[in-house]
Chains A and B, each alone.
Chain A
Amino acid sequence: MVADTASRLFQDLFWPDGVWSGHPGWDSGKWDVIESAGLPLALVPEDAGGFGLARRDALDLIRIAAVHVVPVPFAETLLANWMLAICGVPLPGGPLSIAIDDEPLPILRKGGGYEFATRAARTPWARHASRIVALVGHGHRPCATAISQSEIAVEYGENLGGEPRDNLTFNCVLDEKRMRPLPSGLEATDVFGCAAALRVISIAGAIEGMLGRTIRYAQERVQFGRPIGKFQAVQNLLAVMAGHSAVAAAAAQIAADAFADPNRRIAIAAAKVAADEAAGASAAIAHQVHGAIGFTREHPLHLYSTRLWSWREEYGNGETWSRRIGAAALGEGAEGLWPFITAA
């Protein structure tokens, strides 16, 4: 099974001897191992060079990557390859970044092509990417295009989890052949929803990993002569956290099933709202249970919690997405609300 393969591979690469090896920085050798296993093509349709994995199984690899705190743009590369493949752009290989927003990034007609001089803030892993896959547009269908490092200016930044989030300024003229439109029916907002779905699925994985670790800690840490997990107050916290983990897991299922489906925008939105809440609440409980040791860089808890704090913000936070759901729901009236929910 590809899930087991991926899990073992991530474990071997990033947790040798049970200690996370993501520090101190980028290791292209490890990326090459992931790439030669074919995993970055998991979302690519079979007729475009993929290996015919069901979409939900492909997206589940993102959860597995998050369980193992994989310090590479794994989710981003899956999405970028998928975008390029469905638009008919040849796949460049290597780690990929994505520059997408709720609307196409603006380009301007210039000579025989289009000037692309937009700024794209907090672009994930851009400095390490072989290409940045951007969704651009100018009065026509949004188009996917692959931009190389020589066509951008990069200003380094990172999220709370220490993952690269670089500010880019694109500086190139795209000729029409490099821009391939999204298949009809899909809009930029749907691709933005796909990016939100990646974060939902990653959140589910990180909470799962964090829950297991927090339970083990509560079973091992002894105070007052017994493991702290024997105290009802601590049991209560962990039971609540298991609920948040369940919510995130369900949100991840929903996000995967609604991925790139323009009829299910509300489902994607609901998944991100729920994952946002679960992320913050779980991280708070995990830190409470771990006490002071979890507040240090020496302990691996922060690998999960700081990423959760970051991922809940990216590609629309819960507030942004809940406003969209609410605005639509409030137009439904008392009788329309339930059908609105069952159709989501």
Chain B
Amino acid sequence: MELPRFPRPRVDESAQLRAEVRAFLAKELADRPARERAKSWTAFDPGFSRKLADRGWIGMTWPKAYGGHERSAFERYLVQEELLAAGAPVAAHWIADRQSGPLLLRYGTEEQRKTFLPRIAAGDCFFCIGMSEPDSGSDLAATRTRAVPVEGGFRVNGAKVWTSHAHEAHFMVLFCKTGTGHERHADASQFIVDLRAAGIEIRPIRILTGEHHFNEVVFRDAFLPHSSLVGTQGGGWSQVMSELVFERSGPERFLSSFPLLASLVEEVGPEHSSSAPADIGRLVAQLIVLRQLSRSVAGVLDTGGEPAVEASIVKDIGTGFEQLVPEIARKLVSIDLAARENREFAAAFACTQYHAPSFSLRGGTREILRGIIARGLGLR
């Protein structure tokens, strides 16, 4: 039995970069109200993403040959956490920067890297993820969407759901079956899908806030050229598993409700009720420790490790923290009173409350994560 390990994160704090990012955000987001900041990384703003790209803050760690900036993983982490803490609208480029780009760097062909990475880093090429299906949520291996070999490529039929921002993204990384057999893990592959191609229909699904983030993406005999296959045909399962580690341990797994916490501190202020300092102090303490854990996993990832269990632990604890923030907020501030007085805080709270259930669902449900952790502990 090997217990999960969280080596001390190497901290090479770049005070200059942090100051640069803070100054940029203070200026760009000066008029962004709390209710907008509370949307965190679900807010989609291509103009803002392009400004980040201009500063060199997308594809930061990628080789310069592919439009990247060859900065360290810790510098990238610093920028990510500053963006999230400020409630910046980062959804447009987030997926491509976090996982589609790294996927292509690792498994893509030279042509794919040259085609997509510079455009992603320039902030004008956005990706979405095609994993979940109507009958395949947590059980990714139950995927039914299938790409069948045809002259020059593949023909795809099936449907993906909960596809965030498919209607605004340019490409999808599609996970689907390619084999003829029924092995659960062996016959899947990944493709880059141009969402404007024929045979693809994108239908909106409204989330709790009423906003259009989710979509159903239906494939009816959509053609995918050979050049769109990522990695090896049949290697999709192991590729997608290593992609998920990137998806699970970043600062977006504990900072989604930070904008509400910042508003709460402002709302409560230095003149406070007797329980406020202890409640706020507890949240701040949890945040400081989560940041240590998350940076530890980032460090292991950067040195080529695959800390799947540790990443799952960070996401499990981190999303629990994210969901605790609105509970503490409503304990310390009367939401009813704030709403009657039309205070901005009530709107920020509403946004976080609406989004809170998704924190422990997206990117792997809490139950799936705990299964991964239990397996890591040698229990299954």
Contacts and interface: CB of A to CB of B under 8 A. Distances in A.
B258 A338 contact: yes
Given A250-B6, A273-B285, A235 B371 contact: yes
Nearest to B320: A243
A249 B7 CA distance: 9
A274 to B, nearest CB: 4
A283 interface: no
B353 to A, nearest CB: 18
A338 B86 contact: yes
A246 B374 CA distance: 14
Chain B interface mostly = helix
A251 B289 contact: yes
Contacts of A250: 6, 289, 292-293, 296
A8 interface: no
Contacts, number: 173
A250 B310 CA distance: 12
A344 interface: yes
A246 B3 CA distance: 10
Given A242-B3, A273-B282, A274-B286, A254 B262 contact: no
A7 interface: no
Interface residues of B, number: 55
Nearest to B9: A253
Interface stretch (B118-126, B133-141, B158-166, B265-273): B265-273
A319 interface: yes
Contacts of B192: none
Contacts of B277: 322-327, 329-330
B261 interface: yes
Contact of B85 (A56, A218, A249, A338): A338
A330 B265 contact: yes
Contacts of A341: 284, 287-288, 291
A314 B296 CA distance: 28
A236 B370 contact: yes
Given A235-B370, A322-B281, A271 B265 contact: no
A239 B266 CA distance: 35
Contact of A329 (B1, B4, B281, B373): B281
Given A250-B296, A321-B281, A330 B3 contact: no
Contacts of B1: 212, 215-216, 219
B377 interface: yes
Contacts of B187: none
A271 B291 CA distance: 12
A265 B314 CA distance: 25
Contacts of A270: 284-285, 288-289
A273 B286 CA distance: 8
B280 A325 contact: yes
B296 A335 contact: no
Contacts of B272: 330
B279 interface: yes
Interface in A215-268: 215-216, 218-219, 229-230, 232, 234-236, 238-240, 242-243, 245-247, 249-251, 253-254, 257, 266-267
B289 A271 contact: yes
Interface in A312-344: 318-319, 321-327, 329-335, 337-342, 344
Given A219-B1, A239-B369, 10 more contacts: A208-B3, A230-B379, A234-B379, A238-B374, A240-B316, A253-B6, A270-B289, A273-B286, A324-B281, A325-B277
> What 4 pairs between A and B have smallest CB-CB spacing?
A326-B277, A326-B281, A322-B281, A325-B281
Interface of A: 56, 208, 211-212, 215-216, 218-219, 229-230, 232, 234-236, 238-240, 242-243, 245-247, 249-251, 253-254, 257, 266-267, 269-271, 273-274, 277, 318-319, 321-327, 329-335, 337-342, 344
19 contacts: A219-B379, A232-B371, A235-B379, A238-B373, A239-B371, A240-B316, A243-B313, A246-B314, A246-B317, A247-B289, A247-B317, A249-B6, A250-B292, A250-B293, A274-B289, A326-B277, A333-B266, A334-B262, A341-B284
